[in-house]
Amino acid sequence: MSDEPTMKLVTNLDRTAIEAKLREIGGDAADAGLTELARMFIGIEGMPAAQIEQRVTNAIKWLANKPQHMKISAVLDLVGMNLKNLK
């Protein structure tokens, strides 16, 4: 059995929760020295949904070959599943 914690699958995050998760991702990225990734989530509060969606998509692609940052990728995937809730 893996020692990795299990992430609860949540598909009903609203805009406020999505923005909070993205700020969390930005902070985690900055802490990990991933400055380019952290910058993607600066100033996302109130940003149009299409721009947030593009930043999330770009971040997922950016992390695609970086398994050492699996936790950040997992939270991004969770946010990605909730993008339909942005209003």
Residue 43 covered by a domain:
yes
Residue 7 covered by a domain:
no
pLDDT range class, residue 6, cuts 50, 70, 90: low
Residue 71 covered by a domain:
yes
pLDDT range class, residue 87, cuts 50, 70, 90: confident
Residue 27 covered by a domain:
yes
Residue 1 covered by a domain:
no
Q: Which range marks the domain in which residue 69 is found? A: 15-85
Instruction: Return phi, psi of residue 10, to 5°.
Output: -120, 125
24: Cα separation from own chain's centroid: 8
Residue type, 58: N
Residue type, 14: D
pLDDT at residue 3 is higher than 80? no
pLDDT at residue 51 is higher than 70? yes
Domain count, the chain: 1
Residue 10 covered by a domain:
no
Residue 35 covered by a domain:
yes
Longest dimension (CA), the chain: 42
Residue 60 covered by a domain:
yes
Please, what is the average pLDDT of the chain?
Answer: 91
Report d(CA 23, CA 67) in Å as an integer: 21
| Mean pLDDT value of segment 34-61 | 96
Instruction: Supply the pLDDT for residue 9.
Output: 74
Instruction: Supply the pLDDT for residue 4.
Output: 55
The SS3 assignment for 21 reads helix
